[in-house]
Structure 1
Amino acid sequence: MLLEFEKPIADLEHKLKEMKALASENGVDVNSTVEILEGKILDLKKETFGNLTRWQRVQLSRHAERPYSLDYIYAICDEFIEIHGDRQVADDKAMVGGLGTINGKTYMFIGQQKGRNTKDRQLRNFGMPNPEGYRKALRLMKMAEKFNVPVVTLIDTPGAFPGLEAEERGQGEAIARNLKEMAVLKVPVICIVIGEGASGGALGIGVGDRIIMLENTWYSVISPESCSSILWRSWDYKEQAAEALKLTATDMQSFGIVDRIIEEPLGGAHKDIHAMCNKLKDVIIEEVESLSNLEPQERILKRIDKFDNMGVVNEEVTQ
């Protein structure tokens, strides 16, 4: 998958590949020319990815080769046991979770999971959980609390599933209950946006002591396309909507919503998955160690204060 703004880089990389192949066939030394072209490619990458628009970051967060929740979990855990079902309705494949160990310490990982191909996307419902997905997530959080295991959530969803059957089974109530219960969990809770963070679908596993975003991700009450369709009755204004929504990691950090941004490899997380996983692993270990030094009640109060301080409320008193 090649995004529009990546094409100039791809063209130069193609020329470099052709040059190396031609030199190899003819036994010609082109090392100096190769070095110059490699330098140009690196400079173009730095310029391109250092000046991405908000819409371009949204596109990068959806890249088909970008690692998903299970990719990170299996890469950073020494062992991982997935736990299924909400004990009420079904096992929602769009929400995954289980116990994983890192350097001998156990964590409860919970995340939204997308699919790589058509069949897998249908199985995972395009990363849009039903109510049973959020109830499964809550079941795992309460289990973690019972055994004093820190919780790590990986957020990557275009939103909670908006179908009629989801509403009939209590989609809004399931998300609302998660918000309430996550606010008072006695164990450390770290929430990491690894791709898309849209609306209540993201917030349903997004209340924690630390809110972290990867560099090329977004977090907003609505997607740019949906915002465009509401305001302009067309998806054609999604770029303007993205700018207006201010939904990138740097925007969220400036608003005080996000505590930390994890830098991605040049070109995005999918360009060096191994390096990205190692960074994520180090951050999780560091943040959990820091939070573990606090007493549970102190941690809960800080967590509640954190979310209470988001946004501004003006009240007018009429006589």
Structure 2
Amino acid sequence: QGHPGVLESLLRARVDVNHQQADGRTPVYIASCRGHLKTVELLIKALADINIQAKTGKTPLYIASQNGRYEVAELLVRESILQCKLESIQPALRCAQEFGNSRVVNLLQLALSIGDSLPADNGSIAQRRPATCDSELSQQLHSALSQSGFVDSRAALQSAVADVLQDILRRRQTHDGYFVVGSFSEGWGNSLKTLNGKTDTESDIDMMQLVQGPLLHPTGLCECGAVQTVEYKNGHVLSPGFASSPSTAWLGSTLRPAFDEVLARLLCCYPPIAPLHKDRVFKSNIAEPVLKLLQQDLTSDSSPCHVVHAAPPGKAGSSSV
């Protein structure tokens, strides 16, 4: 409806600027149709894709040319030239000629003549020009992600689905010694492989199984008075007999993600928690009360202290970490 202030608020709330209605129309398409110049400017600045077609095959430039929206068409043409994406100009020109919009016809003919002098690599100017700062790189990445369909709304949906899958797995655990320790919803993001949201096969849920057996008593930390203790140094407990690979991989299916099963042993006590060291607390931006809550949560009965079975590379069977 051409309300820039409302649109600016929505953009700050990170709405999907390329959301399509059932008929395929996007916000920039609708604004171009109605001649809302300021709205189109704001959407382009927010990296809206001006080349998304409605189900009729019409682009924002086509509908602006059809309706004689000269200023909007001029803005869209300028952006098309900057991106070196001129394929929408010829259909828009034919439409403007058909509807007798002479000013738009002249504009589009000029744009085509300019386009003929541009490099034929079909790459945008932004892609050819090296980015000068992190913010520009971020904008280029955001634009590439958005144009490929990997937008905030789809990312949120993918996270929600991952959380549901992980919760189902938690509820189906049949053994008390099993714990979900990885985050599939974080894993798919960290393992993003292509711009359309496809993830690496290593995006999985990590399952930890606590092996039944006697507790391990770290030397210098144990307060149980145990006679037999194990060496502890910098987060490593040395104990013989374990393989280099700490996990067993289970393939996923269309009904569930893959997961890794990791074996672990219980310790009698928690070692010092690194983020809670005095020097770390002093340097941290995290408030000390929050760190204390973290310590309480980690040392509660629901969070058993454990070490994962794994050996350093080339030392399988000789020691575990």
Of structures 1 and 2, the larger Rg is shown by 2
TM over 0.5: no
More helix by share: 1
Q: TM-score, normalised by structure 2?
A: 0.21
Greater relative contact order (Cα < 8 A, sep 6+): 1
More strand by share: 1
